[in-house]
């Protein structure tokens, strides 16, 4: 048996959304042990988190600097689950100490920072992961593979909606909901809200599924939630490099939507439909054939897309969800940590591309809706 991996976590205290997801994902496939943490600057919350997850108090730290100083050499990787404004400095410090890093998106506050992290990881030969979680969903891997195999022909148009209604659930006349507050605060989240928070998932999905690079974007941003200083809605036109186009709707004020992430990829031979809220299925439509609905890990899937069945845990019809998708990303990330080889998960490149997208979208909007290079 191989030596078990050990990891530490910064941020992600009890009660946050994404910290527990990282921990569950790592545990699901028994990938690594969480051996150290600095979960919150709030001492009580920090201690409560350690207690809940059974972490020895001797490895609980009040801040990430202390943690890194104490644990370097003892951990295989660091999971960074803090608000956006500290991603860069924490990831940088860890990489410089030779520690592999899984860092929440967006990777940084600026493109320059993201690029620097990418270069640093390369120079230090470190593994840097950025969990664009939906790319861990098996049927999206299948979509990517179908496109790459030429099954839908030349990609022409992508229509992608990422519509959440989360900001409609906040009573804006009162102090902001604790969990989402920092997402509306330029100091903590950076200059973008909806685009940086969920638009980056959508952008990543565009390039991930099509295998194409985006050339330029044209963005029309809005702040519909009263009192919100950052954009909470975006309509974005996209030009890929070889003539394909996309249409991207991103919203945090799509009243009543839960996590409405819907993808349609139109090629000249066929099209693909995928809906995150029914993510175990993928539809393929051709002009002269009935619609085909493929199902996660159905018996025919292995022959069509090895990546989509790799690591899959349970048979078709018994659904895997968001946590499993996250675990799929960690599976590949931990394999890279162990083997030092490239694996199938998003990393520095994707972190940089999505940051460029955020900057281009903001610039395009500022210019009144001008096509802006990425």
Residues in 133-172 at the binding interface with its own copies, rule: CB under 8 A: 152-153, 156-157, 159, 161, 163-165, 168-169
Residues 6+ apart with CB under 8 A from 329: 25, 129, 131, 132, 133, 135, 136, 345, 346
What does the alpha-carbon distance between residue 160 and residue 248 come to, in Å, rounded to a whole number?
A: 5
What does the alpha-carbon distance between residue 290 and residue 51 come to, in Å, rounded to a whole number?
A: 54
Nearest distance from C-beta of residue 65 to its own copies, angstroms: 26
The two beta strands, 100-103 and 128-129, are parallel
The correct pick among 10, 21, 140, 194 for binding its own copies (CB under 8 A) is 21
Nearest distance from C-beta of residue 373 to its own copies, angstroms: 14
Phi-psi region of 54 (alpha: psi -120 to 50; beta: other; left: phi over 0): left
- Contact between 305 and its own copies per CB under 8 A: no
Nearest distance from C-beta of residue 256 to its own copies, angstroms: 3
What does the alpha-carbon distance between residue 72 and residue 77 come to, in Å, rounded to a whole number?
A: 10
Spatial contact of 283 and 140, defined as CB atoms under 8 Å apart: no
Pick the stretch among 95-103, 206-214, 284-292, 331-339 that binds its own copies (CB under 8 A).
Answer: 284-292
Nearest distance from C-beta of residue 178 to its own copies, angstroms: 14
Question: What residues between 329 and 368 interact with its own copies by CB under 8 A?
Answer: 368
Nearest distance from C-beta of residue 344 to its own copies, angstroms: 21
Nearest distance from C-beta of residue 124 to its own copies, angstroms: 29
Question: What residues between 172 and 231 interact with its own copies by CB under 8 A?
Answer: 218, 220, 222, 224
Pick the stretch among 66-74, 109-117, 282-290, 339-347 that binds its own copies (CB under 8 A).
Answer: 282-290
- Contact between 295 and its own copies per CB under 8 A: yes
Site string (88-127) toward its own copies, x via CB under 8 A: ----------------------------------------
Question: What residues between 42 and 81 interact with its own copies by CB under 8 A?
Answer: 51-54
Phi, psi of 161, rounded to the nearest 5 degrees: -110, 135
Element (H or E) spanning 260, and its range? Answer: strand 260-267
Nearest distance from C-beta of residue 185 to its own copies, angstroms: 20
Pick the stretch among 122-130, 196-204, 265-273, 340-348 that binds its own copies (CB under 8 A).
Answer: 265-273
Using CB under 8 A as the binding criterion, the count of chain residues that bind its own copies stands at 88
Terminal C-alpha separation, the chain: 45
Q: Which own/partner contact pairs does 223-227 have at CB distance under 8 Å and 24+ positions apart?
A: 224/253, 225/167, 225/168, 225/170, 225/172, 225/184, 225/252, 225/253, 226/172, 227/172
């Amino acid at each position: 048996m191989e030596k078990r991996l050990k990891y530490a976590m910064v941020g992600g205290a009890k009660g946050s959304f994404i910290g527990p997801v990282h921990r569950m994902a790592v545990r699901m496939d028994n990938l690594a042990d969480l051996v150290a943490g600095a979960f919150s600057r709030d001492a009580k919350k920090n201690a409560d988190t350690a207690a809940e997850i059974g972490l020895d108090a001797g490895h609980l730290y009040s801040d990430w600097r202390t943690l890194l100083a104490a644990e370097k050499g003892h951990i295989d990787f660091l999971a960074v689950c803090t608000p956006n404004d500290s991603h860069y400095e924490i990831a940088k410090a860890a990489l410089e100490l030779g520690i592999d890093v899984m860092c929440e998106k967006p990777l940084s506050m600026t493109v320059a920072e993201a690029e620097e992290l990418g270069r640093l990881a390369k120079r230090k030969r470190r593994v840097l992961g950025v969990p664009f979680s939906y790319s861990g969903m098996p049927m999206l891997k299948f979509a990517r593979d179908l496109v790459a195999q030429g099954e839908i022909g030349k990609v022409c148009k992508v229509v992608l909606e990422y519509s959440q209604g989360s900001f409609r659930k906040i009573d804006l006349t009162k102090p902001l909901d604790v969990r989402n507050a920092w997402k509306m605060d330029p100091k903590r989240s950076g200059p973008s809200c909806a685009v940086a928070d969920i638009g980056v998932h959508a952008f990543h999905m565009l390039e991930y599924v099509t295998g194409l690079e985006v050339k330029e974007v044209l963005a029309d941003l809005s702040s519909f939630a009263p009192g919100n200083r950052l954009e909470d809605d975006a309509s974005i036109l996209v030009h890929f490099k070889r003539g394909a186009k996309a249409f991207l709707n991103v919203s945090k004020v799509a009243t009543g939507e839960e996590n409405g992430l819907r993808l349609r990829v139109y090629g000249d031979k066929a099209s693909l439909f995928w809906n995150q809220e029914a993510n175990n299925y993928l539809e393929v439509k051709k002009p002269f054939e009935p619609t085909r609905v493929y199902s996660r890990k159905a018996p025919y899937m292995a022959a069509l897309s090895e990546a989509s069945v790799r690591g899959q845990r349970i048979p078709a019809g018994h659904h895997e969800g968001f946590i499993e998708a996250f675990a799929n990303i960690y599976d590949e990330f931990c394999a890279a940590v162990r083997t030092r080889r490239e694996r199938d998960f998003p990393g520095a490149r994707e972190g940089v591309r999505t940051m460029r997208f955020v900057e281009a979208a903001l610039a395009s909007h500022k210019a009144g809706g001008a096509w802006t290079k990425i």
